[in-house]
Amino acid sequence: MCMDANALKWAEAWMAHKEPPAGAVGLMYMLEGGSDASNTDPWGTAPASGGKWVETGPHVMVVGSKEILAGHPSGPKPDTSVPYVMWAGTPYAHLMVPVKGT
């Protein structure tokens, strides 16, 4: 995972369970993709009973901008082939944007 300075501040706040910095839009990317236990719980360690891991291919994340989230799907079982909101309704909501590798 690589990120700019604003995204690093956001990630540090998330990992410390603290409020992310206000008005600090940041970018990060994971070109290897990743998996998360939950699309609704920022600190989920395992999928809910009967649930599956959220598997995401290569993607870019935009953090710190509530405005960019508007109009994107934000449910618990996202279609990771299109942009979607991860952790909607939390201070850590961010836009996940899939990218194609070459």
State mean pLDDT over 16-33.
94
Residue 59, SS3 per DSSP:
strand
Residue with tokens 């934000």: 74
Residue with tokens 């909101």: 85
pLDDT at 101: 65
Distances (CA, A) of 13 to 69, 73, 92: 19, 24, 9
Whether 86 shows a pLDDT value over 70: the answer reads yes
Tell me the domain boundaries of the chain.
1-16+26-35+53-102
Whether 102 shows a pLDDT value over 70: the answer reads no
Predicted confidence (pLDDT) per residue in 35-79, tens digit: 999 999 999 999 988 889 999 999 999 999 999 999 999 999 999
